[in-house]
Amino acid sequence: MRIVLDAMGSDHAPGVDVEGGVRAARRFGQEIVLVGREEEVQRELAKHDVTGLPLSIVHASQIIEMAEHPSQAVRNKPDSSMVVGMRLVREGKADAFVSAGNSGGVLATALASAGRLGRIKGILRPAISSVVPTLQGFSFMLDIGANTDCKPEWLVQFALMGAVYARKVLGVERPRVALLANGEEDTKGSAAVQQAHQTLRQLSLNFVGNAEGKDLTKGIADVIVSDGFAGNVAIKTAEGVASTIFSLVRSEIKARPLAMLGGLLVKPALRAVAKKLDYREYGGGPLLGVNGVVIIAHGRSDALAMENAVRVAIEAVNGHVVDTIRQDLEDAVTVLASMSPDGKSILSDHQASEEAS
């Protein structure tokens, strides 16, 4: 297997990206192709003992920056590490692409003609995903930012894709799927969520209904489906609240001499909690719905996070996620069509008009 790693992606590129690639090559034994400015990548590689490791470099002179407008950047930078790297996957020269860069850029590259992987047949919109730590372990959440205003059928497809990923990669036999909403009752939610809710009830998914924000970290579902607006707000709120609480705990402990002594004693416990909440342990989330394995890592990734993002890519390739999504979507379209009076399902109808547009 060959995994392409965007060496210029993270906030601290290329240092942590290259180091993550080196660690991944050592740990997993799969070939890592580092894409970026060759000289800079070489300089970083020289800092590590890479003897005998399956590492190679493909040169790309340009970089899509965090603040750039995604689709413009992709158009203007055909020799960027994202476009060059993704093209290796498209041309069958590699099995997966991993980047900690501008996530909109990764999405745009996957869909733009330059590095075009395109969408899986029938998929209306790809979704960005992430793991959410919970009391029991973790849930898998999508979309967290690719699509702000979602149609009901997009949400239904996110549910299908998330269930495939949970089954094939996370090892959950019959994943519980929930819709993020502003109330548990079926009647709660935006218009799109309410409609998606009705359709999800008709499919063979293990759909458990709506989940509220307060359930997000309770582990009540394996897959949490959301539009990219509320999903992004939820996941970033969770991140922000966790960091705020740790800040508050630190300053309240510092304000009390006895608590400072206690603080030393509870430090290992607090560290264990912080580790559970640490995105670096999860590496990255797949961009689901595109015709290939693409993993988006956190921009603030360090080498450990990058190493884990490569692990996620390997697992997604081994799990045949792309083929399974294609198959499950076909099955769902058939089920919905068989139940509909005119023999059409909302998934296939909109799909047709979408492909035509």
CB of 311 to its own copies, least distance (A): 24
Residue 116 interacting with its own copies (CB under 8 A)? no
Does 248 bind its own copies (CB under 8 A)? Our answer is yes
Rounded distance between C-alpha atoms, residue 16 and residue 21, angstroms: 8
Give the interface segment with its own copies, choosing from 88-96, 152-160, 208-216, 328-336 (CB under 8 A): 208-216
Contact between 4 and 97 under an 8 Å Cβ cutoff? The reply is yes
Q: Is 145 a binder of its own copies (CB under 8 A)?
A: yes
What is the rounded distance in angstroms from the CA atom of residue 302 to the CA atom of residue 100? 10
Terminal Cα distance for the chain, rounded: 36
CA distance 343 to 308: 44
Q: How far apart are CA 345 and CA 160, in angstroms?
A: 15
- 34, 234, 306, 312: which one binds its own copies (CB under 8 A): 234
Q: Find the part of the chain contacting its own copies (CB under 8 A) among 46-54, 116-124, 151-159, 228-236.
A: 228-236
**Residue 64 lies near its own copies (rule: CB under 8 A):** no
Q: Does 74 bind its own copies (CB under 8 A)?
A: no
CB of 192 to its own copies, least distance (A): 8
Asked if 224 touches its own copies (CB under 8 A), the answer is no
Judged by beta carbon, residue 228 or residue 319, the one nearer its own copies is: 228
Q: Give the whole-angstrom CA distance, residue 130 versus residue 204.
A: 24
Do 253 and 208 contact (CB within 8 A), yes or no?
Answer: no
Residue 204, token pair as written in the block: 């063979």
Q: Stretches 26-34, 82-90, 225-233, 323-331: which one binds its own copies (CB under 8 A)?
A: 225-233
In the complex with its own copies, the residue whose CB is nearer, 50 or 233, is 233
Tokens of 66: 């965090």
Amino acid at 129: S
Distance CA 45, CA 55 (A): 10
Q: What is the DSSP secondary structure assignment for residue 120, as one 8-state letter?
A: P
Q: Is the Cβ–Cβ distance between 295 and 96 less than 8 Å?
A: yes
Residues 274-333 interacting with its own copies (rule: CB under 8 A): 276-277
Alpha-carbon separation of residue 93 from 85, 97, 160, 321 (angstroms): 10, 11, 28, 18
Contact of 141 with 163, CB cutoff 8 Å:
no
Of 38 and 212, nearer to its own copies (C-beta) is 212
- Residue 262 as a binder of its own copies (CB under 8 A): the answer is yes
Q: Is 259 in the site for its own copies (CB under 8 A)?
A: yes
Q: With respect to its own copies, which residue has the nearer C-beta, 149 or 331?
A: 149
Q: Is 237 in the site for its own copies (CB under 8 A)?
A: yes
Q: Which is nearer to its own copies, 46 or 255 (CB)?
A: 255
Q: What's the angle, vertex CA 142, arms to CA 27 and CA 79, rounded to 5?
A: 60
Q: Which of 43, 56, 121, 241 binds its own copies (CB under 8 A)?
A: 241
Instruction: Kindly state whether residue 212 participates in binding its own copies, applying the rule CB under 8 A.
Output: yes
Phi-psi category of 292—alpha, beta or left, where left has phi over 0 and alpha has psi -120 to 50?
left
Residue 76 found at the interface with its own copies (CB under 8 A): no
| Among positions 1, 50, 53, 233, the unique one binding its own copies when judged by CB under 8 A | 233
Tokens of 345: 């399902």
Which residues are at the interface with its own copies (CB under 8 A)? 67, 69, 134-135, 145, 148-149, 180-183, 185, 187, 189-191, 193, 212-218, 226, 228-230, 232-245, 247-249, 252-253, 255-256, 258-259, 261-270, 272-273, 276-277
